[in-house]
Amino acid sequence: MPQFHEIKKIFIGNPLHNEKLHDEKIPKWKALAILSSDALSSVAYATEEILIPLTAFIASAAIWSLPIASAIALLLLILTMSYRQTIDAYPNGGGAYTVAKENLGMKAGLVAGASLLIDYTLTVSVSVASGVANITAAFPMVAEHQVLVCAIVIFIIMLLNLRGVTESAGIFAYPTYFFIFSVILMVGMGLYKIATGGIVQVHPVMHEAYPAIPLFLLLRAFSSGCSALTGVEAITNSISIFKDPAQRNAKTTMLMMSLILGGMFFGITLIAHVAGIEPREGQTVISLVAMSVFGKTGLYYFVQFSTALILFLAANTAYAGFPRLSSLLAYDRYLPRQLGSLGDRLVYSNGIIGLSVFAIILIVLFDGNVHHLIPLYAIGVFLSFTLSQTGMVVHHYKYKHEGWKKSLVVNAIGAVATTIVLLVISVSKFAQGAWMVLLFIPCLVVLFMQICRHYTGVAKQLSGGVVEGVHPPVASLCHTAILPLSGLHPGVMNAAQYALSISKDVRAIYVELDPKATVRLQTSWKKWAPEVELVVLRSPYRSLIRPILEYVDQVKMDTKDEMLTVIIPEFVTAHWYQSFLHNQTAFMLKTALLFRKGVVVTSVRYHLN
C-alpha cells in the first residue's frame, strides 16, 4: 500500500486538499484550449471526409465540397446561437443530459447521456487515430505500429488529465494555439496564392453548373463533413470549470471557438476545392493542402506536426466532458457510484481511467483506422444536440422568462436543423456501421435503468430496521473493538451488537467526506446507541482508508492492548455481479489491515434479498 501511494505521486502528483477545489478554475484562454480542441481539430479530417465519397463516385464531383462546407458552416452558426441560449438557461452546466432530463423526462435524459458517453469515447479514438495517421503521412515507417502508438498516446493523455484540470489545461493550451496559428498561416498564405495565381485554379470558386450525382451520395458527404461539429457542446457541459463570471466567460468562449472553427474549416475546404485536391492513399487532405501552399518545406512539417499534436490533444475535450457526465449519472444512481468520487487531484479519476480503457478497446477493434471509426461518429452527438435543443424549447415555453419567444425560436430552429442532420447521418451511414451505435444506445439506457433499480432496492433494504430506543446487548470481553461506519442501517446494527458482545470498549468511527452527512449520522447515532462513542475522522484529501489506519495505530499506542478487533459491517448483494456496482471499501480496508500486527479483522455480513 505505501509503495502504491508513492508510485501514484510520481505519476499524478501529491493529493490536493478540498480547499483547493476553488482554485481548479480556468480562464477563457485555457478553457478555449481544453474544451474546444475536439471541435477545432476536426478541421484536420472533416474536409477529407466530405471529399472521399464524392471523388469515389466521380472526380468532378469534388466541386460539391464547397456548397456542402457552406451548409455545415451555417449549421455551426445555428448551433452556436442555440447553445448560447442553453448557457443562459443553465449557468451551472446545462449539458444535454441535464436539459433533456429536466424538460423531456428521465428517459430522454438517459438517451442523451448514453449518446454523449458514446460520442466522448469515439472522440478519443478518432482524434488519436487521426493524429497518428498524420504522423504516418510524413513518416510511413510508423504505420505498422499504428495501434500501439495510439494506445501509448491515450495512456499519456490519461496521466496528464489525472494530474488535475488546472495543470492539464496549462499543458494543453499551448499546442492548441500552436495549431490555430499554423492553420491560419496556411489558409492565409493559400488564399493569397490563389488571388495572385501562385496556386493553379483547377476549379473556380463559383460554378454555373455542378455535375449530377445521386442525392444519397450528396447526403453521405454532408453527414461525413458534420464530424466538424462534434465537440461544440462541450462548453455547455463544463461551465463549472470557468473562472467567475463563469456564465459570461462560457458564452464568450463559445463564440470564439465557433468563429475560429468556421474560418479554418471553410478556408481549408476552399483551398482544396480551388486546387482540385483529392484524397490519396497514405496522405491526408490537410497534408496535401499544406504541400500545395508551402511545398515540402519546413512550414509543411510545421503544419503536420501541429496537426498531429492537436489531434492527440483533441481527446482532452472528452476527458473534460466524460468524467463530469458520468459523475452526474452516478449521482442519479444510473452508473456505478465510484464514478461520482473525486480523486486525489480533485478530478473524477475513475471516469478518466474508464474513458481511456474504452477508447483503447475501440482502437484495437477497428485497427486504429480513422475511416472505419468515422461512420460511428457524430450520431451520438447529433442525437444529444436534438434532445438538448428540443428540451430548451420546452424550457422556454414552460418558464416564459423575459425574451422567451426569441429564445424559443432560436432553439426551435436548432432542434429542427439537428433532427434533419441526425436523420441524414443515420440513413447515410447505417450500412457503414452506424447501426452499431443506434443499437448500443438503447442497450446502454437499459443498463442505466438496471443499475438504478439495483441501487433503489439496496437503499430500501438498508433504510429500514433501525429502531429507536433499542439498546444493544451488554459486552463481556475486555479488549478494544473498532467499528468503521459508512452510515446507519441494519448491517451496522448487527455489527454493533456483535462488537458489544465481545468488548466493553467499542468505538464507532466515521470518515467525514460530507459534513452534512456527518451531522445526520451523529444525530441518529445519539438516539440509537448513546452508550457507544462515535469518533469522526477528518479526511481533507477524501481518503477513506488512510484515516482509519492512522486511527487504529493511535488506539494501539494509547490502549497498549495486545489485541485489537476491527469489525467491518458488510452487506452482500443478491447476485455476485451486482457487487461491482459498489465501492470495495471493505475489501481494501481488510487488505490494508492484513499487515497490522495484533489487529483482528472481523466481517459481519448483512445479506440483501
What pLDDT, in 10s, does the model give residues 580-590?
A: 776 677 888 88
Give the per-residue SS3 of 184-207: HHHHHHHHHHHHHCCCCCCCCCCC
Please give the C-alpha separations between residue 36 and each of 257, 358, 493, 517, 575, in angstroms, as whole numbers. Answer: 6, 22, 51, 37, 43
Give the residue-averaged pLDDT of 351-375: 86
Q: Is residue 103 included in any domain, yes or no?
A: no
Contacts 24+ apart (CB under 8 A), 446-453: 448/110, 448/113, 448/114, 448/329, 448/334, 448/335, 449/110, 449/334, 451/333, 451/334, 451/335, 451/336, 451/581, 452/332, 452/333, 452/334
325 and 181 assigned to the same domain: yes
Q: Please tell me whether residues 220 and 77 are part of one structural domain.
A: yes
Domain termination site, one of 323, 340, 367: 367
Residues 62 and 196 in one domain: yes
Q: Reduced to 3 states, what is the DSSP secondary structure of residue 422?
A: helix
Residue 11 maps to a domain: no
- CA 141 – CA 139 distance, rounded (Å): 6
Count of domains in the chain? Answer: 2
Angle of the 404-428 helix axis to the 65-89 helix axis, nearest 10: 140
Per-residue pLDDT tens digits for 253-275: 999 999 999 999 999 999 988 88
Cell numbers found for residue 7: 508510485
* Domain C-terminal end among 336, 367, 398: 367
CA distances from 67 to 207, 269, 273, 285 (A): 10, 10, 10, 18
Confirm whether 466 is domain-assigned: no
Residues 349 and 486 in one domain: no
**Amino acid 472: pLDDT:** 55
CA-based nearest residue to 598, from 547, 568, 544, 559: 559
Residue 151 lies in a domain: yes
pLDDT at 530: 82
Residues 356 and 503 in one domain: no
Read off the pLDDT of each residue in 296-325 and give the average, rounded to a whole number: 83
Q: Is the pLDDT of residue 208 over 80?
A: no
Q: Are residues 234 and 359 in the same domain?
A: yes
Question: pLDDT tens-digit profile of 538-564?
Answer: 888 778 888 888 888 888 888 876 678
- Distance CA(255)–CA(257), nearest Å, equals 5
Q: What is the CATH number of the domain that holds 529?
A: 3.40.50.620
Task: Give the pLDDT score at 476.
Answer: 46
- Domain hosting residue 572, numbered range: 480-607
Say whether pLDDT at 171 is over 90: no
Q: Which of 320, 352, 367 is the last residue of a domain?
A: 367
pTM listed for this prediction:
0.73
Q: What is the pLDDT of residue 504?
A: 83
pLDDT digits (tens, 9 = 90+) for 364-409: 988 887 777 877 777 888 898 899 889 999 998 888 888 888 888 8
- Within-domain flag for 467: no
Could you read off the pLDDT of 512-533 as tens digits, one per residue? 888 888 888 888 888 888 888 8
Residue 593: how many other CB atoms lie within 10 Å: 18
Average pLDDT over residues 577-602: 80
Any domain includes 418:
no
Asked if 361 and 500 sit in the same domain, the reply is: no
Q: What is the pLDDT of residues 62-100, one digit of tens each?
A: 888 888 999 889 889 888 888 888 888 888 765 788 889
Query: What is 438-483 written as a DSSP string?
Result: HHHHHHHHHHHHHHHHHHHHHHHHHHS---TTPPPPPP---SEEEE
Q: What is the pLDDT of residue 187?
A: 93
**How many angstroms from the chain centroid is the CA of residue 570?**
32
- 427, part of any domain: no
Is 438 domain-assigned? no
Q: Identify the top-confidence range among 135-144, 178-187, 411-420.
A: 178-187
Report the interhelical angle of 46-57 vs 246-275 (nearest 10°).
30
